Every structure is written in C-alpha cells, then in structure tokens.
A and B are shown apart, each in its own frame.
Chain A
Amino acid sequence: MMELATWVAVLVLGPGSMAIFVWFLFSLRDALDGEDEQGRERRDAG
C-alpha cells in the first residue's frame, strides 16, 4: 500500500505537474489576451 501510494505520488508530482505546466502554457495566451481586452474596454470606457 505504501509503495503504491508512493508511486502514485511520484506520477502526480512528475508527469502530472509537467502536464499542468503544459496546460498552463496553452492557457496563458488566452489569459493574457482576455486581460488585454479588459484593458482596452476600460480605456475605451474612460
């Protein structure tokens, strides 16, 4: 049981965290674009 839990933890921390980082890279452009749009709207409103 302890071994199984440890290997699951290794998988989550290694490949799992890398997968989340890749997900982050793909979503970063959307986040920054969304933020740019908000900024433009604010400037237009101002």
Chain B
Amino acid sequence: MLMLLPVVAKTAAVTALGGRLDRFDFAVIGLYLLGMVALGAMLATRIRAFKDYFLASGALTTPLLVCTLVSSYYGIDVTFGTSESGYYYGVVAWFWYSLPYYFFIASAALVVAPRLRRYGGAMTLSDVLERHYGVRTRVVGAMACYVYSAPIIAMAGLMTMMELIGVPTTWGVIVVIVVCAMYTIMGGLWADAISDTVQFVLMCVSLAIAIPLAIEWVGGWSFVTYLPPSGDGGLRNHLVHHGGLSGWMLLAWSLTGVTVLVEPAFYQRVFAASDGRSVQRALLVGILLWASYDWGATLLGLVAHAAVAQGLLPESLAGKQALVSVCLEMLPTGLRGLMVGGIIAAAMSQVDSYALLASGNLVYDIYRPLFDREASDKRLLRLTRIGVFAVMFASALASLLFDRMRDAWQFMASVMASVVLVPVMAAIFARPRRAAGFWGAVGGLAGLAGFYALLFTQGMKDPHEETYIWRVGGIELWQDYAVLCALPASLGGFVLGHWLEGGEP
C-alpha cells in the first residue's frame, strides 16, 4: 500500500544529513545486507519448481503472511510520504487517507479472500481474469499489473534516502539492487517472505524506539503548542481530523484505498497461503500494525513541524525529510544505524516483493500465454529469475523519469485500478460474459488516456499545488482524480461488452 498523499505540494531540495552516520552505523547496515544475501543462499536449495519459487509452495503460515504483507505494502514512500503528510497537514492524513485503507483491507480479508480460494491452481490475479474472460483480457490485465508492480517508487525513495545519508546515489542504489536481486533470484517468495520478517521487525522496532525519544527531544507533549494555529476558533488544523480540507478532497483521499482490492501482492499471498484462514488472520492483524505504523510516522511529522518552530531543525526542511531528519538529529550512534537500516529495509521489502511480482507478470502472465504455451517449469523458473534483476534495473532507470514520487504513484495506481478493478470485482462477485472483462479493461484504459490527454492539453499546472488542474466551468478536475474519471469509462465498457455479447455468461 502506497501512502503518498495526493496534494502534498511543498518540496525543497534534499539536504544531505549523512555527516551524522559514523562507521558503527554503517557497520550495522552492512551486516544487515550481508545477512540478507546469506538468507537467499540458504533458501535456494528449497526451490525445485516454479510454484516453489513464485508461491513458496503455497505453504505460507499466518505469522509469515503478517510480516510479508505488512512490510511489502509499506515501503520507503510510506515512511517518507506519511511523515511528510503529518508535517504539512497533521492527523487528517491518518483519518482520511490511512483509515479508509484499513476498511478496504478488512473487506479484502473478509469478502474477497474467501472467494479466491475457489480458484484452485491460480497463481496471479491474471489467472483469475483468464478464467472468466480469456487470454486477451489476461494479457491486458497483466500489463496493468506490471505497470503497478514495477518498484519504481521504492527506487526513487532509495535514491532520496541515499542522498539524505550522504551515500553516492548511484553506488548506493546499485548495492541495494544487487543484494535484493541476489536473495530474490536465489530464494523467490521464500526468501522474499522470510527477509520480509527481518525487515518487518527492523522497521517496526526502530519506529517504536524513535517515537518516545522524539517526543522527549521536542520537550514532551507540550510540543503540540508549537503547531500552527488555524485561526478557526483556536483549533489547530494539524490536530483536527479533517485538517480544514474540503469534503471533496477528503472523499478523493479516502477512495484511493480501493486499489487494495486489486493489489497484486495481496492475490499472490492469498494463493501462497497454507490455508484460507491464514490470510484472513494475517490481514486483520496487519491492520493493527499498519494503523500503528501510520500513526507513528504521522506523529514524527508533527514532531518535525514543532522542531522547526523551536529552531531545532532548519526552516528549509522538506516534508519528505521530516522523519529521517528528526531521527538523525536525536538518536544516538548505533540506533541511528538501526533507524536508517529500518528505512532501507522498508524499501528493500518493497523492491524484492514487487520485482518478483512484475517478473511473474512478464514471464508467467504475458510471455507464456502469448509466445510459449508449452514452456517447461524449468524455463519459466529461469526466465522469472532473470526477469527479477531486469525489472529492478529497469525500475531504477524509470524512476529517473518522474520528478516526484507522487506523480509516479498516481500514474501507476490509476492504470491498475482503471484497467483491472471493474473486471476483477465482477469476476469474483457476479457472472459476467467473456467480452465484458476485455471491454471493461480497454474502456478503463481509454478513459484514463483521455483524461490525461485533456488534463495536460486543457489544464494548467498549479504552481502552489504543483499538480495539473483543469477548470471547466465551476468544476476543478485535479490530476489526482484520474482514477475517479476513468472508472466510469471502465464500467461503461464492461456493461457494453456484457450486453453486446449476449448468450449465457
């Protein structure tokens, strides 16, 4: 789950804070990276077939699922993005962005997951699409999944992190890619899931240690008096649930959580679970952890805001630097390394999980049905392993195309939801005809392309919000509304396809 807020507008140059990391901190990070490679080597012996590699033999238990789901959904973008939101907007980000996500996750656990168990032998979301709509819909859906899964944002976040800690960006990212690729190529989902547990503990514990120390650093709970007053009856917008934002904006924020229902990692984990109940329990336990992590990151954003007001941090501080800046300023040596290791772990857990998914999309979902239906298990396994490295490398390059992480996330999530949401939900809950899924996917894609074409030609870039806004009459259409405008087109295409085909579903 990616938590970059749609209207995070203010940016500033990244300031290197790496002078505060010493050799001991780097030793902690180095040990962690070496441990990950050793783990991959140990698990490589367990991989005999494609299912072992891509679905960990369908043997993931509840605690493994908790760790892998929590850490895969939460990457560096969340760590930076959520604290950035807390820094600029306050607790509204938690109430109107994070909280709706938990509702959709609970729906996925209680309503969607039990229905997926009937797809015996399925490995990906595209398998579900093919089962109902045929190969062409599978391929279109898989392409959308690939766009969504390629770990572009995690790579962009890693680059920012390297800049922040003063490590040469290119070399830092290369080291992380090589380490991630080594253990993922060797151990597949087993290595991914087990490394996720280490990353899960590292990211949770480092945040749990940082929170009380940060509050003490800004002078205890009285730090809230340093948050800016709203001039609205004395209530500070940073501390009220709506943050002083409009109802439409809050609605747009809360609807972004709908992508959870077609999250490829969720489908992969459901098919990799040892039994149906495991994944439900994992998601419900995960909600508690996600809610706590989001709250902690939001709070550190508030702390950073108060620290700037107190003169403890520079006024030029960019929101995305909030969490890291607070931690590097106030944590003692060793713990700083743990915190930075925790943040890198959050990025790595996302890079490995999604590179594996994206490679599976390319090889299992697109290459196999289109070019080599009779491909042997061994060939699929070899190609998917090569694909993992290729996806990581390509994603690092693609991340350079986007100026801001938000733009990348918005584009990827919009493609995914516009193309796949309507066909997949209809497949799971109704009995649609075969053509409906294809035209639903194509309709969503056309709607999205049309929206972007009109927005970028007719709209203007708002210099304050740093996003495109198209003003038609009295209505403002923001770049953030892409998926809201494309979904009706997908629904229209779906209904038209269902109606035109005729006959029995």
The interface of chain A, by Cβ under 8 A from chain B, is: 2-3, 5-6, 8-10, 12-14, 16-18, 20-21, 23-24, 27-28, 30-32, 34-35, 38-39, 42
Task: Tell me if A27 and B64 are in contact (CB < 8 A).
Answer: yes
- Chain A residue numbers with a CB within 8 Å of B200 are 17, 20-21
**Contact code string B231-251 (vs A, CB < 8 Å = 1, else 0):** 000000001000000000000
Kindly state the separation between the CA atoms of A30 and B211 in the bound complex, as whole angstroms.
Answer: 35
> Contacts A13-B204, A13-B211, A24-B66 given; 8 further ones with Cβ under 8 A?
A6-B296, A6-B299, A9-B293, A13-B208, A13-B293, A16-B288, A28-B61, A32-B46
Kindly state the separation between the CA atoms of A35 and B292 in the bound complex, as whole angstroms.
Answer: 33
Kindly state the separation between the CA atoms of A27 and B270 in the bound complex, as whole angstroms.
Answer: 18
Task: Tell me if B63 and A17 are in contact (CB < 8 A).
Answer: no
A35/B56 contact (C-beta < 8 A), A12-B289, A20-B67, A27-B63 known: yes
Kindly state the separation between the CA atoms of A42 and B118 in the bound complex, as whole angstroms.
Answer: 22
- Chain B residue numbers with a CB within 8 Å of A35 are 46, 52, 56-57, 59
Question: Which of B56, B194, B209, B288 is the one whose CB lies under 8 Å from A12?
Answer: B288
- Chain A residue numbers with a CB within 8 Å of B60 are 31
Between-chain CB contacts (< 8 Å), 16 pairs: A9-B295, A13-B211, A13-B289, A13-B292, A13-B293, A14-B204, A14-B209, A16-B288, A18-B201, A18-B205, A23-B63, A24-B64, A24-B197, A31-B274, A32-B46, A38-B57
Closest to B68 in A: A24
Q: Closest CB of chain B to A44's CB: distance in Å? A: 13
Mostly, the A contact residues are: helix
- Chain B residue numbers with a CB within 8 Å of A28 are 61, 64, 194
Kindly state the separation between the CA atoms of A14 and B209 in the bound complex, as whole angstroms.
Answer: 8
Interface centre among A10, A12, A20, A21 (most CB of B within 10 A): A20
A14/B205 contact (C-beta < 8 A), A9-B292, A42-B49 known: yes
Interface centre among A16, A24, A32, A34 (most CB of B within 10 A): A24
Closest to B62 in A: A27
Closest to B295 in A: A9
Task: Tell me if B289 and A16 are in contact (CB < 8 A).
Answer: yes
A2/B239 contact (C-beta < 8 A), A35-B56, A35-B59 known: yes
Task: Tell me if A17 and B57 are in contact (CB < 8 A).
Answer: no
- Cβ of B212 < 8 Å from any Cβ of A? yes
Task: Tell me if B293 and A21 are in contact (CB < 8 A).
Answer: no
- Chain A residue numbers with a CB within 8 Å of B49 are 42
Task: Tell me if B59 and A34 are in contact (CB < 8 A).
Answer: yes
